């Protein structure tokens, strides 16, 4: 039985609320895409171009996934996706986000649980380090030959950077996953990039008022 965990951690609540606002109210301005992508220090392979993910909750408005982008290969079947998300959390009554414990072991079990139903041949998830931060990763192959690597990099308790590498070619997949070793993350910069863009407010000084017809 899962134990609901209540927390008052300022950073966690701050960014979780921002993510929650984006999920529940998808039309709300969330963050500057260019600021977010700049915080992901990653060297893509030659022939890969960056594209912003279209955030559309679709049939799952409470997926708790936030902004992201992908590097798409020129073969159109190889890519690596970076996306912010909440894990070990759920939206309860009143659209309130509730949190479950999120130790590395918890994340490992959660990743295996979420992907085990989709990939019957998935390897056990492993706890490691990616970009200088704690991560959990799981590899899988579909019957059509598509290879996948799923990694959750823990930024702040339940807040993770979800990384998905995929390719239809085994050699390209190996090169793609090896390229993730170039990833470097500054947790503080990534979290700060998620803050809503501040409005540009301009003021002007009124020097004279003239009234007519009085």
pLDDT digits (tens, 9 = 90+) for 127-170: 999 999 999 999 999 888 899 999 999 999 999 999 999 999 99
Burial class of residue 16 in the structure, from the number of CB atoms within 10 Å of its CB (0-12 exposed, 13-18 middle, 19+ buried): buried
Instruction: Tell me the pLDDT band of 100, cut-offs 50, 70 and 90.
Output: very high
Superfamily in which the 10-54+61-193 domain is placed by CATH? Mog1/PsbP, alpha/beta/alpha sandwich (3.40.1000.10)
> Could you tell me which residue, 110 or 64, shows the higher pLDDT?
110
Instruction: Tell me the pLDDT band of 213, cut-offs 50, 70 and 90.
Output: low
Closest by CA position to 165, among listed 187, 179, 184, 150: 150
Reduced 3-state DSSP string for 4-37: CECCCCHHHHHHHHHHHHHHHCCCCCCCCHHHHH
> Could you tell me which residue, 30 or 108, shows the higher pLDDT?
108
Q: E strands of 9-158, at which residues? A: 40-41, 48-52, 65-73, 79-86, 89-91, 97-99, 126-130, 133-141, 147-156
Per residue in 33-77, pLDDT (tens digit) is: 678 889 999 999 999 999 998 755 444 555 688 888 999 999 999
Measured in degrees and rounded to the nearest 5, phi and psi for residue 121 equal: -105, 20
Q: Which two tokens stand for residue 140?
A: 């899988």
Q: Please state, in angstroms and rounded to a whole number, the distance separating the CA atoms of residues 16 and 2.
A: 20
| pTM reported for the whole predicted model | 0.78
Closest by CA position to 180, among listed 144, 140, 152: 152
Question: Please, are residues 53 and 71 in contact by the beta-carbon 8 Å criterion?
Answer: no
Q: Which two tokens stand for residue 126?
A: 């492993």
Asked whether residue 16 carries a pLDDT value surpassing 80, the answer given is: no
The residue ranges of every structural domain in the chain are: 10-54+61-193
Give the pLDDT of residue 9. 46
β-strand pairing of 184-185 with 65-73: unpaired
């Amino acid at each position: 039985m899962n134990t609901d965990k209540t927390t008052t951690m300022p950073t966690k609540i701050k960014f979780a609320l921002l993510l929650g606002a984006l999920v529940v109210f998808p039309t709300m301005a969330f963050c500057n895409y260019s600021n977010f992508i700049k915080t992901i220090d990653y060297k893509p392979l030659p022939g890969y171009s960056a594209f912003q993910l279209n955030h559309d909750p679709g049939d799952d408005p409470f997926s708790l996934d936030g902004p992201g982008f992908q590097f798409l290969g020129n073969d159109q079947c190889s890519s690596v996706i970076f996306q912010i998300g909440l894990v070990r959390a759920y939206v309860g009554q009143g659209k309130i986000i509730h949190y479950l414990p999120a130790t590395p072991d918890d994340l490992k079990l959660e990743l295996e649980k979420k992907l085990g139903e989709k990939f019957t041949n998935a390897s056990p998830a492993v706890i490691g380090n990616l970009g200088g931060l704690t991560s959990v990763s799981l590899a899988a192959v579909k019957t059509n030959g598509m290879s996948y690597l799923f990694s959750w990099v823990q930024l702040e308790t339940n807040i993770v950077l979800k990384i998905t590498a995929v390719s239809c070619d085994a050699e390209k997949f190996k090169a793609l996953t090896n390229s993730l070793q170039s990833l470097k993350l500054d947790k503080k910069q990534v979290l700060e990039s998620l803050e809503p863009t501040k409005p540009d407010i301009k003021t002007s000084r009124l020097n004279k008022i003239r009234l007519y017809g009085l």
